[in-house]
Structure formats: structure tokens, C-alpha cells
């Protein structure tokens, strides 16, 4: 645990407010960030200071684009070449007395414009209703007291208190971090939680530290998966990393859809062909000696006849039907042309984590007591079983093998446990998956933690790559339960649990068998974790942990969404090529691709950042 930084001195006057901080905050000690933002972390800002800073920095939310007037949005429906040509044809027809044609064209164009305008308005109202449903809050320290305030009221210098399961409401520098890990997939695409600490990263005078490496910072809209943190807010709203992404999306020019490009091209061609036809007819008529008044009337009639005045209405009605069908499937389409643009796609580049997969770690296999079990079920629902082709054997060995996964664990399931993947959890996703695995093996983690109270622990550390908990036994000894990287646990183990009971790990053959199991699971694209235990006379220190018995090895993965395989098949049938983009290990990505039906081969092969000419950041 890192103690909160403190700063001495009088509070600043509310008229002189410190500026927000950006990436440089990660390279500064917490004490320097506190000093620059002029706040006492023990008391937080006063109500007056918070109000003054809010007046300077504005609300902590994404800026919305200036709303376009309704009449301009209606006129936008007329902004393409084909509509322009039809408008010109209507004017000319009215000028030469063809009132009926002029009215028909005008009515058709009005129908097209009204359909497009109403669809955009309806879509915007739906999106606005969704935004109003989400009202995030934050727990802050102000005037020395904890308050729960709306996240949009946060300002630079606020002290935010976070626990596992909380969503980070603004960018901030960590002042206190107790075993903190954060899920940053929304920003970096990394499916695994990132370990955080209060230690500065890099140097504020050196090159900008990549976002994924700023381990002393928490970022807006990410989530704490483990631990407890106190953060001093360094940036809010559009000044956050999420705001930078929102700004890039807002300022980027929106390209026309394929349909709009084709309609513009058609409009130009029709205008050119009509002009050529009119000129040719006029020249021919003049050579034949026709009167100018009759010739002009026939030429205009020819020009109007060449324009397909019913085409915009047919297109608008067809696209409106497509929008209606998509709405019935829960999709909000903002513009009519987007329906056709979706149908014109030939290549789909999709993120893996949370898009093609559930973003829910799930145990797919476990080697326990010398047997390899397949694990059924998806997500964090406990409905599922452990299946093996071997009959007989002991349930007691299986329960013993899964015990560390249930007890040496800080995650808690929050659902009823019988949902089809819809149950929630508090804590680290990987630890939650291990609790679910234990439940499928018949272990109740909450009951076991009550029966085996924790008397001490060695928290997970990136250097040791394991977590250990200590539990008092009735005979006065201490049971040590450990989970972590298999290669690390093997060096700490003296024995392994097999079908024939405990056997010593004193020869290379038995050690090679364990490593072969690990390799087999890894080649299947699974993340591998081991579990071990020991009975000792007194709790050991981190450097003295040894004499363990290896009990089990779990293989975990972020499973594909049930609908993803069907979607891949539909894409192939439609001639759409799918590319999966991920920051995961290439072997894991290849395994997910195989399961989804994204075929490999000479034309479909995996490419890493190095293949493309640059390393992954």
C-alpha cells in the first residue's frame, strides 16, 4: 500500500485555478502532482474550490457537436447531383407550361426529403434517450468528507475513491494503490487487466509514454477489476484520453456512402446526356427549319423525359423498409443511406475482445489429479460441468485440486449462478472465471472462505507471478494455497497430484509430463494457470515459499460470442471477408479465429505489427 501524498501550505484563492494535466502526470511523483494541482489529498477540495474549477474547466462529459437547425437538416436531403438535376427539370417544366410534370417531380422530391429527415430525427431521439438512461456517479473526498456526486461534476484536483468493480469517472494519477488492476480494453484493446501502482513511469521530459504503459494512471471509462485506489483527477471531459478519441471521431470528415457516390455519378451523367440530347435535337430542328418556340418546347420536354423522377422515391422507400427491418432487430440507423452502405461492404475488420468474444474469461479445460477435463458453459454463469473420458476416480481429488482456485481468490460472483452467461462479478475477470470453474466442480467459494478464514496472504506480484493465502488448520499447522504461473509453481513444488495420489517431482519425466499438459493447453489458445498447496508449521515469506504440491492446471479463454460463428458464416455466404484485429498473442488469436470459422491459409494468414512494418506499442 502506498500512503497518500500530502502537501503543506495555504489553500489557493479560488480565482487562480491550476491547469489540467495530461500524459506528463504519469512521470511525476504523486507528491508533485498534488502540489501542481494544489489540493490536500487528505481533505480534498472545498465546495467553493470545486465550483470555481468547474466554472473554468466545464463539466466532465464529452462535448456535443453544435446542433444543426431543423430547416438546414431538412435541406440537407436535397444535397446530391440527382436531386439537383430533378429540381432543375421541375423548374424548367414549370417554365414551359408542363405544370403536371413539375408537380410530380416536386412531390416525389418532397417525399424523399421527408422520409430521410424523419428517419434521422427518430434515430437521434433514440440515441438521446439511451444517453439519458446512463447517469454515472463518483465517490469523492471534499471538505474532508466522502460524497457521492455526479461524474459530470468532477474537476481537476478532485480526490476520487475507487474499489473493485467501479468505473473510472475521469483521468487521474494514482496516490494510493492496493493490489490495483484495471480493465483498459476500451482504450488499448488489451483483454487482460493491467496492474497499476503509484510509481512514476518514464520521465515527463522524455518522449511521450505509450498509453498502455502508463501504469501510474487510471483513465476515464475504464474499470477497476481488483484492489482499492485513491486517484487525484488530472483531466476531465474532452481533455481525457477518451475525449481525444471522441474529438478525432467528431472532426473526421464523414465520407459519402457508396449509394451517394453512385447517385452523384448518375446525376452528372444524366445531366450530360440530357444536355447532349437537347443540343443535338435543337441543331437538327434548326437545320430542318422548325420554329424556335416549338423547338424549345420539344427540347425541354426531351430533357425532362430523360430524368427518372420516380427514382428518388423508390430508393427512399426501399431504404426505409431496410431501416424498419433493422429496427426490429434492435439496430438504430441514423441515416437512410447507411443501410445501403452496410450492404456494400466487402471487408469487415473487427476487434476481437468484447466484439467477437464475450470479454468474459471462461475456463475451457482443467488438468486435475492427473486427468484432463473439458469444462462446459460460458461466461460467469455456474451452470456447466467438468467432463472426462475416464471413468472412476475420486471426487475428493478433484475438489482438492480445485480448492486453491476457490479460496486463494478475491473475486465474488454477484448473480444467482444459474443464468446463461448473464451473471456478474466483482473483482478480476480471471479470478472470477476460476471461481466459476470451482463451482462447476462442486465447490462453493463463499462457504469455503468462511470455513477456511484467511490468516495471511502474499498478494499477486508481477515479479513472483503467483498469489498465496494462509489458512489455520485444527492441528495448529497452516495450509498454504497458491495459484499462479505454472513454470514458477513447478520450481516451488516437491510433488504433483496424479491419479495414483501424490508423486514426487524428482525426475525429469514427470516434470516433462506436466509441461506437456501446459503446452497442449497453450497451443489451444488458452491462458494457463496452476494451483498448488502445502501444509507447513508456520506461514512462509515470499522468498521462503517451497515444498508445494502441484494440484491442477486450468486453461482459460475469452470465448467467442454464440452469435459470432453464425455471423461469420453469413459473411462468407455474402462474399464478405472478415479480418480479426487484436492485441492478444498470435497463438491465442489463431485459436479464436479457428473457433469462429475465420479460415487461415495463403490468402488468410495472421499478421502481427512486426509483419506490417512496425512493432506493437
Give the angle subtended at the CA of 182 by the CAs of 177 and 183, to the nearest 5°. Answer: 180
* Coil, helix or strand at residue 124: helix
Strand 548-557 vs strand 493-498: parallel, antiparallel, or unpaired? parallel
Distance CA 309, CA 304 (A): 9
CB 229 within 8 A of CB 177: yes
Phi, psi of 436 (to 5 degrees): -65, -40
Phi, psi of 46 (to 5 degrees): -85, 165
Distance CA 590, CA 598 (A): 9
Q: Which of 204, 264, 351, 444 is catalytic?
A: 351
Where is 374: in which H helix or E strand?
A: strand 371-375
Q: Is 500 a catalytic residue?
A: no
Q: Which residues contact 433 (CB under 8 A, 6 or more apart)?
A: 360, 361, 362, 363, 380, 556
For residue 380, the 8-state DSSP code is T
Q: Are 510 and 453 in contact (CB under 8 A)?
A: no
The number of beta carbons lying within 10 Å of the beta carbon of residue 310 is: 11
Report DSSP state, residue 354: I
Q: How far is CA 324 from CA 119, 331, 340, 469, in A?
A: 10, 9, 13, 56
Alpha carbon distance, N-terminus to C-terminus of the chain: 29
Phi, psi of 250 (to 5 degrees): -75, -40
- Joined together, the cell numbers standing for residue 484 give 499462479
- Report the number of secondary-structure helices (H) and strands (E) in the chain: 18, 21
CA distance 25 to 203: 9
How do strand 501-504 and strand 493-498 relate by DSSP bridges? antiparallel
Handedness of CA 582, 587, 593, 599 (dihedral sign): positive
Angle in degrees, 0-180, between the axes of helices 336-343 and 311-328, rounded to the nearest 10: 80
Which residues carry out catalysis? 351
Amino acid at each position: 500500500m502506498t500512503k497518500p501524498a500530502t502537501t503543506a501550505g495555504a489553500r489557493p484563492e479560488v480565482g487562480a485555478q491550476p491547469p489540467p494535466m495530461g500524459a506528463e502526470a504519469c512521470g511525476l511523483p504523486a507528491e508533485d502532482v498534488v502540489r501542481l494541482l494544489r489540493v490536500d489529498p487528505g481533505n480534498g477540495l472545498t465546495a467553493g474550490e470545486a465550483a470555481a474549477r468547474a466554472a473554468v474547466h466545464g463539466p466532465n462529459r464529452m462535448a456535443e457537436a453544435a446542433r444543426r437547425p431543423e430547416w438546414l437538416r431538412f435541406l440537407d436531403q436535397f444535397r446530391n447531383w440527382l436531386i439537383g438535376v430533378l429540381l432543375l427539370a421541375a423548374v424548367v417544366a414549370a417554365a414551359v407550361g408542363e405544370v403536371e410534370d413539375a408537380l410530380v417531380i416536386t412531390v416525389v422530391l418532397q417525399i424523399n426529403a421527408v422520409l430521410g429527415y424523419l428517419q434521422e430525427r427518430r434515430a437521434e431521439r433514440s440515441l438521446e434517450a439511451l444517453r439519458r438512461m446512463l447517469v454515472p456517479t463518483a465517490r469523492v473526498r471534499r471538505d474532508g468528507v466522502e460524497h457521492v456526486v455526479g461524474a459530470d461534476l468532477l474537476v481537476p484536483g478532485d480526490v476520487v475513491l475507487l474499489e473493485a468493480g467501479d468505473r473510472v469517472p475521469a483521468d487521474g494519477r494514482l496516490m494510493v494503490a492496493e493490489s490495483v488492476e484495471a480493465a483498459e480494453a476500451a482504450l488499448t484493446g488489451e483483454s487482460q487487466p493491467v496492474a497499476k501502482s503509484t510509481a512514476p513511469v518514464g520521465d515527463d521530459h522524455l518522449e511521450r509514454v505509450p498509453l498502455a504503459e502508463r501504469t501510474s494512471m487510471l483513465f476515464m471509462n475504464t474499470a477497476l477489476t481488483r484492489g482499492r485506489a485513491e486517484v487525484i483527477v488530472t483531466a476531465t471531459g474532452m481533455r481525457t484520453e477518451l475525449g481525444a478519441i471522441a474529438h478525432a471521431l467528431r472532426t473526421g470528415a464523414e465520407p459519402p456512402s457508396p449509394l451517394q457516390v453512385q447517385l452523384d455519378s448518375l446525376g452528372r451523367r444524366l445531366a450530360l446526356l440530357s444536355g447532349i440530347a437537347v443540343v443535338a435535337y435543337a441543331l437538327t430542328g434548326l437545320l430542318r427549319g422548325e420554329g424556335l418556340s416549338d423547338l424549345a418546347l420539344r427540347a425541354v420536354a426531351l430533357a425532362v423525359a430523360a430524368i427518372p423522377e420516380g427514382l428518388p422515391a423508390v430508393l427512399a422507400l426501399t431504404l426505409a423498409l431496410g431501416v424498419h427491418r433493422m429496427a426490429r432487430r434492435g439496430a438504430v440507423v441514423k441515416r437512410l443511406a447507411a443501410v445501403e452502405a452496410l450492404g456494400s461492404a466487402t471487408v469487415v475488420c473487427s476487434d476481437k475482445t468484447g466484439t467477437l468474444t464475450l470479454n468474459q474469461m471462461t475456463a475451457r479445460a482443467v488438468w486435475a489429479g492427473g486427468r484432463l477435463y473439458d469444462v462446459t458453459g460460458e461466461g460467469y454463469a455456474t451452470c456447466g460441468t467438468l467432463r472426462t473420458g475416464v471413468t472412476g476416480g475420486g471426487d475428493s481429488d478433484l475438489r482438492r485440486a480445485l480448492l486453491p482456485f476457490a479460496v486463494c481468490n478475491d473475486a465474488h460472483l454477484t448473480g444467482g449462478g444459474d443464468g446463461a452467461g448473464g451473471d456478474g462479478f466483482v473483482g478480476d475477470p480471471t479470478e472470477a472465471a476460476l471461481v466459476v470453474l470451482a463451482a462447476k466442480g462442486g465447490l462453493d467459494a463463499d462457504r469455503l472462505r468462511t470455513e477456511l478464514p484467511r490468516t495471511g496472504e502474499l498478494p499477486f506480484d508481477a515479479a513472483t507471478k503467483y498469489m498465496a493465502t494462509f489458512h489455520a488448520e485444527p492441528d495448529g499447522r497452516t495450509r498454504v494455497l497458491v495459484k499462479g504461473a505454472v513454470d514458477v509453481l513447478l520450481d516451488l513444488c516437491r510433488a504433483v497430484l496424479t491419479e495414483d495420489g501424490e508423486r514426487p517431482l524428482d525426475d525429469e519425466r514427470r516434470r516433462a509430463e506436466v509441461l506437456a499438459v501446459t503446452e497442449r493447453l497453450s497451443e489451444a489458445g488458452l491462458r494457463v494457470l496452476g494451483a498448488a498447496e502445502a501444509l507447513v508449521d508456520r506461514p512462509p515469506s515470499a522468498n521462503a515459499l517451497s515444498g508445494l504440491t502441484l494440484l491442477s492446471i486450468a486453461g482459460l479463454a475469452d470465448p467467442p460470442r454464440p452469435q459470432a460463428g453464425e455471423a461469420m458464416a453469413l459473411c462468407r455466404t455474402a462474399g464478405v471477408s472478415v479480418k480479426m484485429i487484436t492485441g492478444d498473442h498470435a497463438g491465442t488469436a489463431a485459436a479464436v479465429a479457428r473457433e469462429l470459422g475465420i479460415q487461415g491459409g495463403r490468402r488468410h494468414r495472421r499478421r502481427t505489427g512486426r509483419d506490417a512494418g512496425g512493432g506493437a506499442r
